[in-house]
Each structure stands twice: as C-alpha cells, then as structure tokens.
Amino acid sequence: MGVKCKAAGAVLILLLFLGSLWLQGGLDYHWESCLKGYNQVNKLHQLSNSSGADGVEGPQLLEACPDQTFQVSLLLSHLLAAPAYTSDVLLHPYLSSWDELVKFMDALGPMVGLISKEIESKTSTIRQLALFADENREAELGPDIRSVNSINANAEDSQHTGAYHSVRSMIGAELNRGVVDFQHQTNSGCRTLLRLHRALLWLKLFLEKLAETPVAGRLRSPSDLCREAYQSTLAKHHTWFVRRAAELAFIAMPERVFFFRLVCVQNQEQLRIVLNRVVQAIVEVYNRTQKALEENGMLDLP
C-alpha cells in the first residue's frame, strides 16, 4: 500500500481521462456489440485465397496469422479495397480498416486500449449516420429502390447509392444538408472523419518508424517510436494535459519481439516488408482523404 499504490491510482486516473479526451470531444455512443458482429463477418474474408473479392489488383495479400485477434492480412485487404474512382475513399472498407487498427491497438496493452475505445466510438458514429441515412432514404423512396444500390462511378449517382457510401459523397451530402458546422463542435460525419484521419497519420508514422532498419546502430524501442510519431502528429491537436497522459501510455508499450509475433514474422527484415506494405496502403487512403477534406476547407473542423 502507500506511495506506490497512490502513484498507480494517479496513473490510472490520468489514463482514463486520456481515453475520453484522446480525440477531442468524446462522443457518447458505444455500439460495441454492433461492431463485434461486424468484425465476425469480416473475418471470413481472410480465409479465401487471393482470387476474387478485395484488392484484386493490389499487391499479393498476406496470409492469415494464427492465434492472433489482430490480422495484418485483413487490415491490408481492407486498406487496399478503400480507394475508389480517381480520388475517393469508400467508407465501408475504411471503417473496416479501423476495426482492425483498433484490434492492433488493443493488443498493445490496456493503456493504448483506452485510446482505441475512443476511436471505436468515432467509427460507430459514422456507421450510425450511414444507417439513419439509409433508413430515411428507403422510407422516402419505397422498398423497390433497395436493389438499385450498387456500384456506380458517377458522382451524381453515388448520392443515390447512399450519402455515406464514400468520403466525397458524405462530404457532399452533409454540406447539402447543412449539418457541417465550421464554428462549433457537432457530431457530423465530416468532423468525426477528421478525428479518425488525424489518428491515422499517427499510426502510419508509428508503423513507418517500426519498419525502419538502421544500417548501423541499434533498433529503437517501439515505445520511443510511438512517442515520436505522436509528437509530430496528434500532439499538436491535444491539450497539455492529454499530451502528458499520452506519454505515460507509451511507456508501457511492448518490446519489438512482441510486434514480430503480432504479425507472424521472425525478424526485423520480415517486419519491414510487411509493415511497408501496410504503410503504402495507408498513405494511399490517407492522401485521398486529406485531399477531399482540404478541398472543402475541412482540415480544422472543431
């Protein structure tokens, strides 16, 4: 008891705060059971071999990794399925990518797991908005229209295939409906996407650093790399208090061998190859989202 116990208590409280403040303005929605079901369905994809479905034209997909909840192969296939048309991103695979990234963060221990809870609430928000939009549309148009819901490259048509079909269709639809507030905090899909988008840059940078293999010298600890990635990305959007709490969470991060196991590789060289493919796929998605948000002046939504 005594000092140690109090210190542990203080750390815990800080971390709980961190969890809720992480992405600024936590939202109350927790549709976790909903997400769980969704994850189960997606898991089936990984069992099928390369042909068909996701990311047909992309680089060869990775194999499933036994005994892990997080599946890097699944993450990669969702990321590769997200870019659409010349400059758009499909929201369904985008959010599925986040489901897998949440599992990745959860695997890093309870500290980082608290952060992932906040991200889950953001993905739930967008899914709920999409669901409401679908229901309203069906109510307006009658049941027959449901079957028309298919792939359509035309921007005008994409509104008819659901406002939350893609990043650009969501931006367009929310601007039309006037639900994006440029002055005050709301829970529009656009501002929620912006929070996810910023967090994606942090994870991309962290994975990129983990993949780095110095020619001379030692590999650096994941804990240091994650802190560095944070400092040059998310930290600038956070208050002093959240930044301090984040540093605490990174201290408890596992060693590098843990990451080998997590993606089923034996050494740094193999880790580099796997992570670089993931990073490449993230960059494609990130750049497209960035461009769409930028073109609409949405990079600073409160």
Ligand X SMILES: *[C@@H]1O[C@H](CO)[C@@H](O)[C@H](O)[C@H]1NC(C)=O
Closest to ligand X by CB, 191 or 288: 288
* List 113, 272, 284, 296, residue binding ligand X (CB under 6 A): 284
CA-wise closest residue to 105 among 212, 246, 7:
246
Whether the CB-CB separation of 182 and 214 falls below 8 Å is answered with: no
* Least distance between ligand X and beta carbon 61 (Å): 9
* Least distance between ligand X and beta carbon 280 (Å): 7
Applying CB under 6 A, the span of 142-150, 170-178, 241-249, 280-288 interacting with ligand X comes to 280-288
Report the alpha-carbon distance of residue 97 to residue 82 in Å, rounded: 9
Applying CB under 6 A, the span of 186-194, 211-219, 232-240, 282-290 interacting with ligand X comes to 282-290
Is 283 a residue that touches ligand X (CB under 6 A)? yes
Is 287 a residue that touches ligand X (CB under 6 A)? yes
Lay out the site mask for ligand X across 40-79 (x = CB under 6 A, - = otherwise): ---------xx-----------------------------
Closest to ligand X by CB, 50 or 69: 50
Residues of this chain that bind ligand X (CB under 6 A): 49-50, 283-284, 287
